[in-house]
Structures are given as structure tokens and as C-alpha cells.
């Protein structure tokens, strides 16, 4: 569980307890902590890996084929690419968070979880057995 998840879980818990204003405040704190941890710190880490990551490991732990660094540029590039994909996913999620925040701040609606808690009726339907016939 990441730091922003604490605020999101608390918001859900307080909503289940029947409070209407506190979940919206906690969702705002979740959004602020999301930006700080998922975007600011992640991008800062990516810049650090790109600029300093190759030279931060002691000489005895470096790769023998590249004595001036602990990792070759392809490895650092691969790590950078993975973090870029992660950042793209986080940006997509952040857009979804902003849509909920817009709903709360501009439209005045609650930040209710709109996913359905009901189970689908398809589980109750008859399923074919091994012979291909319905039970």
C-alpha cells in the first residue's frame, strides 16, 4: 500500500460510515499525495537514473565489460523505458482522478464509487457440463 492509498482507503471507510463531507476532503488529500509521490518523485527518480545512475555504484560492483559504470547504457535505457511506461499509466489514472475531482469541485456531486457491487446474473445461469449439455 502506497502513501496515497491510505487517504483513498480512509475516504472509502468514512463514506461507508455514512459521512458525506469527510470522504471528499480525504479524496482531495489523496489527489495531492498522488501528485507528490507518483508524479513528482517518480519523475525526479527517472531524471536521477538518467543523469547519475550509471556512476553511483562502487567500482567493485560495476560490470567488467563497462568499467566506468555499474551498468551499460542499454540497461539504463531499459530501466528508463519501463519507468516511462509506468509514468504513462500513472498519467492515465491521474486523468481519471481529475475527472472525479471535477465532479466534486465543479459540479458539486459526491465522489461516490460508481462501480457496481452487485453480482451479475450470469453466474446463476445453467452452465454446460463436460458433455456439452446444460445441467
Given a cut of 70, is residue 116 above it in pLDDT?
Answer: no
Please write the tens of the pLDDT for every residue from 72-86: 667 777 888 898 999
Half-sphere exposure of 96 (CA within 13 A, CB side): 8
What is the pLDDT at residue 80?
A: 84
Instruction: Read off the pTM.
Output: 0.65
Q: What is the share, in percent, of the chain residues with pLDDT greater than 70?
A: 64
SS3 of the chain: CCHHHHHHHHHHHHHHCCCCCHHHHHHHHHHHHHHHHHHHHHHHHHHHHHHCHHHCCCHHHCCCCCCCCCCCHHHHHHHHHHHHHHHHHHHHHHHHHHHHHHHHHCCCCCCCCCCCCCCCHHHCCCCECCCCCEC
The pLDDT-based confidence of 50 (bands split at 50, 70, 90) is confident
Given a cut of 80, is residue 99 above it in pLDDT?
Answer: yes
Q: Are 86 and 42 in contact (CB under 8 A)?
A: yes
Amino acid at each position: 500500500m502506497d502513501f496515497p492509498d491510505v487517504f483513498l482507503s480512509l475516504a472509502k471507510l468514512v463514506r461507508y460510515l455514512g459521512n458525506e463531507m469527510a470522504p471528499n476532503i480525504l479524496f482531495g488529500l489523496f489527489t495531492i499525495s498522488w501528485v507528490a509521490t507518483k508524479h513528482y518523485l517518480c519523475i525526479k527518480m527517472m531524471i536521477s537514473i538518467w543523469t547519475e545512475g550509471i556512476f553511483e555504484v562502487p567500482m567493485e560492483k560495476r560490470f567488467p565489460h563497462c568499467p566506468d559504470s555499474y551498468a551499460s547504457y542499454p540497461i539504463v535505457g531499459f530501466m528508463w523505458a519501463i519507468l516511462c511506461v509506468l509514468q504513462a499509466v500513472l498519467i492515465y489514472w491521474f486523468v481519471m482522478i481529475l475527472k472525479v475531482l471535477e465532479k466534486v469541485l465543479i459540479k458539486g456531486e459526491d465522489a461516490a464509487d460508481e462501480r457496481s457491487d452487485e453480482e451479475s446474473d450470469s453466474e446463476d445461469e445453467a452452465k454446460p457440463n463436460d458433455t456439452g449439455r446444460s445441467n
